[in-house]
C-alpha cells in the first residue's frame, strides 16, 4: 500500500473513478505534530477515491488513519489516539467558486469544496483532515491514574442535588 508520489491528477481520478492508496511517515506531517508530544515511529495510511455523479459534478473521497500520541489534559498522562477520517470533497476549478458557494450555505449536508488540480498534493489534504480530527481538549475516556471516586463522579458531587432537579421542583409550585 505505498505510492511513489503524493501528487495526483484529481480531474483524471474523478473522471475515471479510480482510487489511489499510499503511506507516509507521521514525522512528515510537521503542522499536525506541532505542539504535540514526541511521537513514536508511525505511518499514516490514506486512500483517495475519485467519482463523477450523474450531473457531471466531480468528487474525491479521502480516507486516512493514524495513531497519534497525545497528553491527557485531565491527568497529564500520555495516551494513543487512533484517528480515522473520511471526507467527501467536491472538486471545483477556481477559488472564486468556493467563495461563491460559501455565501449560499443553504444545505448543511453539502460536501466541502476543494480546488482540483493535475498536481494535487494529497499529503497536504491528509494533514489538514487529521488536524481537523484532533480533539480540542485531548483526554482519556477514563483516566487510569485518577482515584476511583473522581473517575466515577467525573466532577459531580453525589451529595449535592442537580441544579436542574432543583429548578424542576420550583417549576412544580
**Nearest-angstrom CA–CA distance, 7 and 161:** 58
**Nearest-angstrom CA–CA distance, 13 and 111:** 18
In a domain? residue 156: no
Residue 86 host element (H or E) = strand 78-92
Give me the DSSP letters along 135-167: -SS---SS-TTS-HHHHHHTT--TTSPPHHHHH
In a domain? residue 79: yes
**Nearest-angstrom CA–CA distance, 50 and 5:** 17
* 65 band by pLDDT with thresholds 50, 70 and 90: very high
Work out the number of other CB atoms within 10 angstroms of the CB of residue 173.
Answer: 4
pLDDT at 18: 94
The mean pLDDT of 12-17, rounded to a whole number, is 94
Sheet with 19-25: list strands edge to edge.
Answer: 19-25, 43-52, 58-71, 78-92, 112-115
In a domain? residue 165: no
> Look-up: residue for cell 468528487?
59
In a domain? residue 169: no
**Nearest-angstrom CA–CA distance, 14 and 63:** 15
**Nearest-angstrom CA–CA distance, 56 and 53:** 5
In a domain? residue 94: yes
* pLDDT tens for each residue of 78-112: 888 999 999 999 999 888 777 665 555 566 777 88
* Helix, strand, coil tally for the chain in percent (to 5): 30, 30, 40
In a domain? residue 39: yes
Owning domain of residue 90: 7-145
Tell me phi and psi for residue 50, to 5 degrees: -100, 150
* 164 band by pLDDT with thresholds 50, 70 and 90: confident
What pTM was estimated for this model as a whole?
0.74
The mean pLDDT of 63-80, rounded to a whole number, is 90
Tally of domains in the chain: 1
Instruction: Read off the C-alpha cell for 133.
Output: 480530527
In a domain? residue 167: no
In a domain? residue 130: yes
Amino acid at each position: 500500500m505505498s505510492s511513489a508520489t503524493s501528487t495526483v491528477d484529481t480531474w483524471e481520478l474523478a473522471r475515471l473513478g479510480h482510487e489511489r492508496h499510499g503511506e507516509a511517515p507521521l514525522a512528515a506531517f510537521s503542522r499536525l505534530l506541532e505542539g504535540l508530544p514526541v511521537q513514536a515511529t508511525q505511518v499514516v495510511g490514506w486512500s483517495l477515491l475519485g467519482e463523477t455523479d450523474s450531473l457531471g459534478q466531480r468528487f474525491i473521497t479521502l480516507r486516512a488513519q493514524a495513531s497519534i500520541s497525545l497528553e491527557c489534559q485531565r491527568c497529564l498522562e500520555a495516551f494513543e489516539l487512533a484517528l480515522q477520517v473520511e471526507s467527501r470533497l467536491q472538486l471545483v476549478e477556481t477559488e472564486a467558486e468556493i467563495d461563491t458557494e460559501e455565501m449560499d450555505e443553504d444545505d448543511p449536508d453539502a460536501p466541502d469544496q476543494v480546488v482540483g488540480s493535475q498536481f494535487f498534493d494529497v499529503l497536504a489534504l491528509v494533514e489538514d483532515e487529521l488536524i481537523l480530527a484532533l480533539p480540542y481538549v485531548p483526554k482519556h475516556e477514563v483516566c487510569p491514574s485518577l482515584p476511583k471516586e473522581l473517575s466515577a463522579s467525573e466532577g459531580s458531587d453525589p451529595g449535592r442535588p442537580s441544579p436542574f432537579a432543583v429548578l424542576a421542583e420550583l417549576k412544580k409550585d
